[in-house]
Amino acid sequence: MFFGGEKEGIPINKHSESISTVQVAVITTSTMIGIPVLALPRFVADQAGSGAPLASVIGVMITFAGLLATLLLGRRFPSETIIGYNQIILGKWLGRLMSLLLVVFFVLLMGLEIRQFAEVVAGALLPDTPIRVSIFIMIFLCVAAGFQSVATFAYIHFFYFPLILIPFFIVMIPAFRDITSYHLLPIAGSDSSLRSMLGGGLVTAQAVLNFIIVGMVIPFMKKPKHCVSGGIWGFIIGSAMVIGLITMTVGVFGEREIVELIWPTLVLGRMIKVPSEVLARVDSILLISWIYAVFTTTLSYYFIVVRGAGELFRFHRYRLISIIGAPIIFTIAVIPRNIMQMYNYILAVTLWGLLICIVHPVFLLIVAKLTGKKEGMS
């Protein structure tokens, strides 16, 4: 039986869902620290070298502009999702087009990142399990959520959050003793060029574009006017974990070795030794925690897809939309022929995502302020 409580096909009274400010923060954090964290340090270091930590800070600052714009728009239109105020600010047809691009972006991203999940499972956990089986299972879990109840969606994130956060810190804190300071010098990178730092920053920004989930849940809050504090705190926690992870992996491996590793975070987990050998495979705990994070991240992606498509086309049979979307996601996931092609696709898709998730909300906020558009206007 699917999760959910509302009657199928009936539009939902948004504010009756009662999502708290803390839950918005948790949703933001658990969405941000999902799939990319195993490979992200490699791609940032490939661009910025030893300057990867500084580049990641720049990337987070770039992303914060999009987050803040989305939160301020949510406070300005407390009863509307990003799908709704797209049309209020830009007009019916242009607004619907931009909303469609947002939905399509997350369809593509979800398919490719589920493929990334399946590659890690096949390479590190279950080498004899076909990749398509892992893809199917993750998609099935997302479809099973149904997305009828936003409160249930929030509870799922809230339940898994400590299972993601606590093992992550327990496993990764011992790795600090393996950091070599000269691996992080010079702090601005070996060639100290603006291009390399910006390149590393953009890669980081591409990895955390999923903050846009806040634009879909603000109308379901008890107090949507408090969305700014919840979204910012969630973003700060998620960003701190991403920056800390990049700093740690570059500090341990160095810029030359890290670019030779496909999943440096996983290798780092395998290096960790617990005193008295209480745990023989510490990396297994890290992987389990990561799988929970993958589920919450992909759940957020599919929430945007299902609820966004439902609102865009005024079709509120969310279970049906999620079922119809499953084979599309599966097809996208199996398209890449190998890991490198998969990562090339992800980088290409998320590069366009910078326009959709960062530039577009900032543009919407500017237009809304210039035209005086607010709640209730069309």
CATH of the domain at 90: 1.20.1740.10
Would you say 167 and 288 are in contact if contact means Cβ atoms under 8 Å apart?
yes
Which pTM was predicted? 0.92
Residue 3: per-residue pLDDT: 39
Residue 10: inside a domain, yes or no? no
Arithmetic mean of pLDDT, 271-298: 77
- Please count the structural domains in the chain: 1
Please determine, for residue 192, whether its predicted confidence score (pLDDT) is greater than 70: no
Residue 74: inside a domain, yes or no? yes
Residue 219: inside a domain, yes or no? yes
Residue 3: inside a domain, yes or no? no
Arithmetic mean of pLDDT, 251-262: 91
Under the phi-then-psi rule, with left for phi > 0, alpha for psi from -120 to 50, and beta for the rest, what region is 213?
A: alpha
Backbone angles phi, psi at 19, to 5 degrees: -85, 130
Residue 6: inside a domain, yes or no? no
DSSP string, 26-37: HHHHHHHTSGGG
More confident residue, 279 or 361: 361
Would you say 199 and 59 are in contact if contact means Cβ atoms under 8 Å apart?
no
Please determine, for residue 358, whether its predicted confidence score (pLDDT) is greater than 50: yes
Query: 316: closest CA among 1, 12, 68?
Result: 12
DSSP helix/strand/coil, 19: strand
Residue 378: inside a domain, yes or no? no
Confidence of residue 5 (pLDDT cuts 50, 70, 90): very low
Residue 71: per-residue pLDDT: 97
Residue 95: inside a domain, yes or no? yes
Please determine, for residue 12, whether its predicted confidence score (pLDDT) is greater than 50: no
Residue 304: per-residue pLDDT: 97
DSSP string, 200-268: HHHHHHHHTGGGGGHHHHGGGBSSGGGHHHHHHHHHHHHHHHHHHHHHHHHHHHHHHHHTT-SSHHHHH
Residue 143: per-residue pLDDT: 94
Residue 6: per-residue pLDDT: 44
Instruction: Work out the mean pLDDT of the chain and round it to a whole number.
Output: 89
Query: 176: closest CA among 268, 60, 280, 255?
Result: 268
Query: pLDDT by residue (tens digit) across 25-46?
Result: 999 999 998 888 889 999 999 9
Paired tokens of 17: 């869902």
Please determine, for residue 13, whether its predicted confidence score (pLDDT) is greater than 70: no
Please determine, for residue 210, whether its predicted confidence score (pLDDT) is greater than 70: yes
Residue 279: per-residue pLDDT: 56
Arithmetic mean of pLDDT, 196-201: 92
342's CB contacts (< 8 A; 6+ apart) are 112, 115, 116, 119, 336
- The DSSP H or E segment spanning 163 is helix 150-172
Least reliable range by pLDDT among 127-131, 166-170, 253-257, 307-311: 166-170
Residue 268: inside a domain, yes or no? yes
Query: pLDDT by residue (tens digit) across 166-182?
Result: 877 777 777 888 888 88
Domain boundaries, position 32:
15-371
Please determine, for residue 378, whether its predicted confidence score (pLDDT) is greater than 60: no
